Chains A and B, each alone.
Chain A
């Protein structure tokens, strides 16, 4: 596998996130053999570059386990597979950190997650970028999980991502009967940052309940990408699925690309999707300013509330505080 095998903007699933172009200055490290595996480019790159990829499997048997993992520069290790045994519950927190542009960090991670019948997994992904907002960092963050949900199992995910030269966080879910899927996210695309949240939920059996709310903001020179697909197979009767993506373009020159997709083969389903990208309501800003709140704070207050609506209520207080702090820092630091 070499550079030419990586997806580019001519590849439909990657059309807004040109991995080949982003990786072109890393060609020297791309030495591989064989063709692209069926799992796709993130799996292939994680196998090649993720230290210890696939070496460790995590098995959760007891209820209430919480485990944290992180990938940072120089340490791209990640669990290759996670199994949550029937009846068990677990919370998984992943922190992905980027702190500067000199290292050219390359952080691919790929994992298979199996949630057995009746089991529950909460997954939180926090991708931060503490490099100065105006700096053109070179970090490439690729993170993909493929989730298999058993009957009556639940998978609840929350992602907050600040992007990098190219960040793609991808989630693919296949849900069995009566499963519950929730995949909310917040993205914050400052100047020179690219954040791509791509997801796919296959409703393969009856009665799956899916909710997805993604809220994002972008500033001048920042780019947000949302690709969400709900597939309802013929067997997926009584699927109840809602997808919403709403973005605020905070400045002229901000970019958001969105592709919400419903593909439905069953006839008795309730599926809805909504997608908006617009500017902050100036009348609302004026209302706050008329009450004495300065312009910058008024905008931050409205934007913050807009983003926090995507924060699920199952997130515990410490993590919630961390997410809020991150959002506040982003809004304060770049407004």
Chain B
């Protein structure tokens, strides 16, 4: 479903020289599978999520990324979103003056329009929203407030998953979704994520710690170091990492 082949990417800061972060990353996530990417700070985890979703400030210098066989890298971010790519942000942005529900409905309809589907009706939208909010134990008042403004770290993460449930993406990238969550919130969020596992969907769970993977069980685990996958394995690999740390995998070169 998602295939990355020898991907090279630079981060291009507004001030200062560009640096290569991804140095030949290859990875394949077939439909129906959940893959975890683990790695130490600075290994390129967030860069990977931004390159895949098309954020400004990153320059792909080599290799390819395809989604269902389509070249992902040439598409605008909103086109990638309409194709079903969703990023749960590590640091969700605050959007002043735009209420959560107004925003999600606009996003939903923009995606539908891009796919040539009819708009969601108001009652249908409200029904979906209520279901998602109940599942994630989100207070309905929160959905009327401006997006993420004044929300706690945990509330923001919960709201990312709310958006995911509403937009029903086909491929999800979860960037450090566990950070800022206590154990109860983590379980609620994991439940929401697991509800989206299924035959036609893929998922990339980017995380620092094994903890999240107790609740979102991956099919495969990859270790990212210095911009490359240095080891891949089954779910056990995450446990091994937790026990003995990253060091054993970082001395590859």
Please indicate the chain B residues that have their CB under 8 angstroms from the CB of A308 in the complex.
97
User: Do B96 and A305 have beta carbons less than 8 Å apart?
Assistant: yes
Interface string of B73-116 (1 = CB under 8 A from A): 00011101110001101001111111000011011101100100
Known contacts A290-B81, A290-B87, A292-B81; is A281 also within 8 Å of B93 by CB?
yes
B97 nearest CB across to chain A (Å): 3
Interface centre among B92, B103, B111 (most CB of A within 10 A): B103
Interface string of B111-127 (1 = CB under 8 A from A): 10010000000000000
User: Do A297 and B110 have beta carbons less than 8 Å apart?
Assistant: yes
Closest-by-CB residue of B relative to A285 is B56
- A268 touches B (CB below 8 Å): no
User: Do B107 and A287 have beta carbons less than 8 Å apart?
Assistant: no
A306 to B107, CA, bound (A): 19
A302 to B95, CA, bound (A): 7
Q: Interface size class for chain B?
A: 20 to 34
Q: Which of A287, A290, A297 makes the CB contact (< 8 A) with B95?
A: A287
Closest-by-CB residue of B relative to A284 is B93
User: Do B81 and A309 have beta carbons less than 8 Å apart?
Assistant: no
- B129 touches A (CB below 8 Å): no
A286 to B77, CA, bound (A): 8
Q: Which of B82, B95, B107, B167 makes the CB contact (< 8 A) with A284?
A: B95
- B53 touches A (CB below 8 Å): yes
A297 to B82, CA, bound (A): 15
- A301 touches B (CB below 8 Å): yes
A290 to B55, CA, bound (A): 8
A61 to B214, CA, bound (A): 73
B64 nearest CB across to chain A (Å): 21
Interface residues of A in 275-325 (CB under 8 A from B): 281-284, 286-295, 297-298, 301-302, 304-306, 308-309
Interface centre among B76, B80, B81 (most CB of A within 10 A): B81
Q: Which of A281, A287, A297, A298 makes the CB contact (< 8 A) with B89?
A: A287
User: Do B96 and A293 have beta carbons less than 8 Å apart?
Assistant: no
User: Do A305 and B81 have beta carbons less than 8 Å apart?
Assistant: no
User: Do B107 and A288 have beta carbons less than 8 Å apart?
Assistant: yes
Chain A residues packing against B (C-beta within 8 Å)? 281-284, 286-295, 297-298, 301-302, 304-306, 308-309
By Cβ-Cβ distance, the 8 closest A-B pairs, closest first, are A305-B97, A292-B111, A291-B107, A292-B81, A289-B77, A287-B93, A292-B110, A289-B78
Not counting A289-B77, A295-B76, a sample of 4 additional A-B residue pairs whose C-beta atoms are within 8 angstroms of each other reads A282-B56, A290-B53, A291-B103, A294-B76
Q: Could you list 26 examples of A-B contacts with CB < 8 Å?
A: A281-B93, A283-B93, A284-B93, A284-B94, A286-B56, A288-B103, A289-B76, A290-B53, A290-B81, A290-B89, A291-B81, A292-B108, A292-B110, A293-B106, A293-B107, A294-B78, A294-B110, A295-B78, A297-B110, A298-B78, A302-B95, A304-B97, A305-B96, A306-B97, A308-B97, A309-B97
